[in-house]
Amino acid sequence: MKYISTRGGAEALSFEQAMMTGLARDGGLYVPETIPTLSHEDIKAMAGLSYEEVAFRVMKPFIGDTFADAEFKDLIAKAYAGFGHAARAPMVQLAPNHFLLELFHGPTLAFKDFAMQLIGQLFQASLTRSGDRITIVGATSGDTGSAAIEAFRGLSNVDVFILYPHGRVSEVQRRQMTTPSESNVHALAMDGDFDDCQAALKDMFNDFEFRDGVRLAGVNSINWARVLAQVVYYFTSAVSLGAPDRQISFTVPTGNFGDVFAGYIAKRMGLPIDRLVVATNQNDILHRSLSTGDYTTGTVTPSISPSMDIQVSSNFERALFDAYGRDGAAVASQMDDLKSNGGFTISQGAIQALRDHFDSDRVSEETTSATITSELANSGELLCPHSAVAVNVAQSRLGATPMVTLATAHPAKFPDAVEDATGTRPPLPSRMADLYDRPERVTRVPNDLKALQTLIKERINA
């Protein structure tokens, strides 16, 4: 299996190379050259299997012979051993034909642990084999950074730098990034918003001298291995509701489009998914793009669901690539327009192709909060604000097809918003109850590429 760039101008790579590389050198994102499919029987045989076993069967065709089967199974087992729930991704029922997929039982209480814990294992196995040392730099709106730090802390062949927007992440998110004491962990609070962090990261990847000099590797949601790890829970949840003999729909709280794109991959692999519903907060570029074809970036307005506060949705490029019939030049020209004009218009054909799979909606701050309140009354479930955005969007789309809504974070990760809506402050799970007592370690940095690069070089040579 080879991986190609969405902009058509970078060489094809193996799974391992694409994983270690992150962003392609032409600025594009890696996608598999072809999407492997699983037969009806293959999917049916997943019924009743453990999360880990389904993970192996879903991911194996994409990794080829990168790892021997026994080693890959062992890495998967280690990745999910630290989760606080035996099912890894359990479901609860909210209403008739409406199910909530709880993706927050990992070590940092957000769905990003599913991908990051696995990537930590895969990187370590690969680096041990090659003897290389790498520098991971990530940009985060809060959850990616904490999940990355948790996955890479203490590893001997990795330095991990995480850029987060100063003052714009929740206290739990910040503490999860600033309290690990390992010397290979570097939390950087940047003056700016998440899009500024993401732009600085992209600029570092596009500075090849720096990129090669520090052996830069990326674990942001553009990393193909992360998308792949997220495909698994679409299978486990759909199969437990009767797939492949039945269609299932999903509603996904969306920011960078990585999670919902994983659902699209599951569909392309043969999972009978009816609708993939993109749910956004007031930062609604994805809803606007999918409903009007106009992808114009605005300014980010901070919300109570901060992990979706973005205006440039990186993984959307992967969906566009398929919507344009895998024409890398067409994608590259739209991305050039984005860079120079702040937006582009999706062609009629491409928007139609996107709408064949994706539906979308946006939810206001007031409605998000009201949904947390009403869901607690209706089902007893306490939702984080991101999950509440999706639950609200799903509620207007319930019908004969079972709807699975993804709960992307534990309510205790966003206690202020949950307390405002319900009067109840959700406690942290007991395994992380001392988070508020641990000392913090963080470096404040300006939104200045050169200064960031200097700091990173100094730290890794220290």
Ligand X SMILES: *Cc1c(COP(=O)(O)O)cnc(C)c1O
Least distance (Å) from ligand X to the CB of residue 206? Answer: 21
Which residue of 219, 290, 409, 456 would you call a contact of ligand X, by CB under 6 A?
409
Q: Are 320 and 334 in contact (CB under 8 A)?
A: yes
Which residue of 308, 319, 350, 391 would you call a contact of ligand X, by CB under 6 A?
308
Q: Does 253 bind ligand X (CB under 6 A)?
A: yes
Which residue of 16, 102, 150, 259 would you call a contact of ligand X, by CB under 6 A?
259
Q: Does 316 bind ligand X (CB under 6 A)?
A: no
Q: Does 375 bind ligand X (CB under 6 A)?
A: no
Least distance (Å) from ligand X to the CB of residue 234? Answer: 13
Q: Which of residues 179-218 bind ligand X (CB under 6 A)?
A: none
Structure tokens that stand for 450 in this block: 């050169």
Least distance (Å) from ligand X to the CB of residue 281? Answer: 9
Q: Which of residues 101-120 bind ligand X (CB under 6 A)?
A: 110, 112
H or E segment and range at residue 321: helix 316-323
Which residue of 256, 281, 392, 422 would you call a contact of ligand X, by CB under 6 A?
256
Burial of 252 (0-12, 13-18, 19+ CB in 10 A): buried
Token pair 């101008």: residue: 9
CA diameter of the chain = 60
How far, in Å, CA of 28 to CA of 317, rounded?
8
Least distance (Å) from ligand X to the CB of residue 166? Answer: 18
Closer to ligand X by Cβ: residue 110 or 127: 110
Report residue 24 CA to chain centroid gap. 18
Token pair 């948790």: residue: 150
How far, in Å, CA of 384 to CA of 24, rounded?
34
Least distance (Å) from ligand X to the CB of residue 201? Answer: 14
The residues, ordered by sequence, that sit 6+ positions from 375 with a Cβ below 8 Å of its Cβ are: 94, 381, 382, 383, 388, 391
Q: Does 258 bind ligand X (CB under 6 A)?
A: yes
Closer to ligand X by Cβ: residue 124 or 313: 313
Q: Which of residues 32-91 bind ligand X (CB under 6 A)?
A: none
Q: Give Cα separations from 197 to 189, 190, 191, 218, 271 (angstroms).
A: 9, 7, 9, 13, 35
Least distance (Å) from ligand X to the CB of residue 383? Answer: 11
Q: Which stretch binds ligand X (CB under 6 A): 34-42, 61-69, 247-255, 453-461?
A: 247-255
Structure tokens that stand for 37 in this block: 């499919």
Structure tokens that stand for 54 in this block: 């389904």
How far, in Å, CA of 258 to CA of 315, rounded?
5
Cis preceding linkage at 36, omega within 30: no
Least distance (Å) from ligand X to the CB of residue 45? Answer: 29
Closer to ligand X by Cβ: residue 125 or 383: 383
Which residue of 170, 221, 280, 311 would you call a contact of ligand X, by CB under 6 A?
221
Binding residues for ligand X, total number by CB under 6 A? 16
Catalytic (active site) residue 450 = no
Which residue of 283, 307, 334, 422 would you call a contact of ligand X, by CB under 6 A?
307
Q: Does 257 bind ligand X (CB under 6 A)?
A: yes
Cα–Cα nearest to 384, from 363, 429, 415, 361: 415
Q: How many other β-carbons are positioned within 10 Å of the β-carbon of residue 154? A: 11
Q: Does 372 bind ligand X (CB under 6 A)?
A: no
Q: Does 392 bind ligand X (CB under 6 A)?
A: no
Cα–Cα nearest to 152, from 172, 134, 173, 170: 134
Cα–Cα nearest to 386, from 347, 414, 423: 414
Pick the catalytic residue: 112, 202, 267, 413? 112
Catalytic annotation, residues: 112
Contacts with ligand X, residue ranges (CB under 6 A): 110, 112, 143, 221, 253-259, 307-308, 386, 408-409
